[in-house]
Structure 1
Amino acid sequence: MYKRFIVFVFIFMLINLNSSFHAHAEKNEEVEVEEMCLNQSVIELKYGMQKLWIEHAWWSRSLIVSTLADLEDREDVLARLLQNQVDIGNIMKPYYGDEFGSKLTDLLQEHILIGGKLIDAVKSNDKALVDKMNKEWYQNADVIVEFLASANPNWLKNELTEMFYAHLQLTINEVEARLQKKWKEDIRTADLNESHLIHMGDFLTDGIVKQFPEKFK
Structure 2
Amino acid sequence: MDSNLNTAQSLYTPEDLRNVLRQLLSEQSLWTRFLIISILSGLGDIEVVTDRLYKNAIDIGNLFRLYYGDTIGNEIQDSLRTYFSLIIALINAYKSTVFDTLSNTDLTLIHQANTPLYAAAGQFSILLSNINPYWNQQTLGNIFKNTIDMLNDEIYKRRTNQYYADVTQYDFIEYYSLMTADILWNGFINQFYH
On whether the aligned pair clears a TM of 0.5, the verdict is yes
1:146 aligns with 2:126: yes
Q: C-alpha distance in 2, partners of 1:111/1:213?
A: 30
Match in the other structure for 1:96: 68
Match of 1:183 among 149, 153, 163: 163
Shift of 1:128: 2.4
Larger radius of gyration: 1
**TM-score normalised per structure 2:** 0.87
Match in the other structure for 1:14: none
Shift of 1:86: 0.7
- Deviation readout 1:161-184 (Å, 9 max, x if unpaired): 111111111111111011111111
SS in 2 for 1:155: coil
Shift of 1:129: 2.2
Q: C-alpha distance in 2, partners of 1:86/1:201?
A: 17
Matched to 1:143, the amino acid is Q
Match of 2:112 among 128, 132, 138: 132
- Deviation readout 1:64-112 (Å, 9 max, x if unpaired): 0000000010011000000001101111112111110111111111111
Q: Which runs of 4+ in 1 moved over 2 A?
A: 126-129
- Deviation readout 1:7-36 (Å, 9 max, x if unpaired): xxxxxxxxxxxxxxxxxxxxxxxxxxxxxx
Match in the other structure for 1:81: 53
Q: % of aligned pairs identical?
A: 30
SS in 1 for 2:13: helix
Question: How many residues matched?
Answer: 176
For residues 1-217 of structure 1, the aligned pairs below 5 Å read 41-125=13-97, 127-213=107-193
Q: C-alpha distance in 1, partners of 2:165/2:110?
A: 21
More helix by share: 1
* Runs of 5+ consecutive residues of structure 1 not aligned to the other structure: 1-36
- What RMSD in Å do the two structures reach over aligned CA positions? 1.4
Query: Which piece of structure 1 moves more, 163-172 or 120-129?
Result: 120-129
Match in the other structure for 2:102: none
**TM-score normalised per structure 1:** 0.78
* Runs of 5+ consecutive residues of structure 2 not aligned to the other structure: 1-8, 98-105
Shift of 1:52: 0.5
